[in-house]
Amino acid sequence: MVNSLQDKTTLHNGVKMPWFGLGVWKAENGDEVANAVKTAIQSGYLSIDTAAAYKNEDGVGRGIKESGANREDLFITTKVWNADQGYDSTLAAFDESMKKLGLDYLDLYLIHWPVEGKYKDTWKAMEKLYKDGKVKAIGVCNFQIHHLKDLMEEAEVAPMVNQVEYHPQLAQKDLLQFCKDNQIQLEAWSPLMQGKLLDNPVLQEIATKHSKSTAHVILRWDLQNGVVTIPKSVKEHRIKGNAEVFDFELSREDMEKIDSLNKDERIGPDPDNFDF
């Protein structure tokens, strides 16, 4: 049972990753993202997830600095964007991200999308960064089972994390099981389906029963399924509120009701059919 913001899962290389973190997609660079990061860390969050594509890494770096936290207590993630994929360009993109973040090592570096014909070379660069000690863990985002199998055929280091769109209407059970079987930690982006699930009557009923919000119920479902989750917010009350998921537990019946909402419905791009 995950009991607090400080609780961690252990990745297959022994690195400990918090179960719960702050996502900063669409958070504006500058004060908005810096304040969100600072608020989150000062409220007990240890994990912050950004990406080169979000164009807010320097604001995230500022928030980390202003939070006053010890660097080694934090878990910072960023991602290499599609246009930078390939061996040399990934190494250059990493240096650029680190400069913006103002950090001398990264906790987790991810490939943002499985760009065909490129992600294997990108992975070789990730393995180099990992072996050189610049990154504590490496992983991917938006990889389906076939992408993972393809990557792992030649990989020297298996991915430690796969961050994917994951919510009650996109439960991805086969992918979750594959990742568990291969010691790859699944992580959810858009866990609240960008707010579209908040008035779902089934979730509302479960929320009322536990005196919680529908958002809490969804985030708790993630955690009880063994999925790391990083809800995005820039509002102080919501950053603090999202983290109130550690003082209740969903029953098996609750979990099954939520599972039954699955429609294999995406709100983001399809990893097998994207063109960016």
Q: Annotated active-site positions, please?
A: 54
H helix runs in 46-182, sequence order = 57-67, 87-101, 119-131, 145-154, 173-181
Amino acid present at 158: A
Tokens 């500022």, residue? 62
Return the bridge partners of 20, or none: 229
Give CA–CA dist 21/17, Å, rounded. Answer: 10
Judged by DSSP in three states, 159 sits in coil
Give CA–CA dist 165/167, Å, rounded. Answer: 7
Q: Are 70 and 268 in contact (CB under 8 A)?
A: no
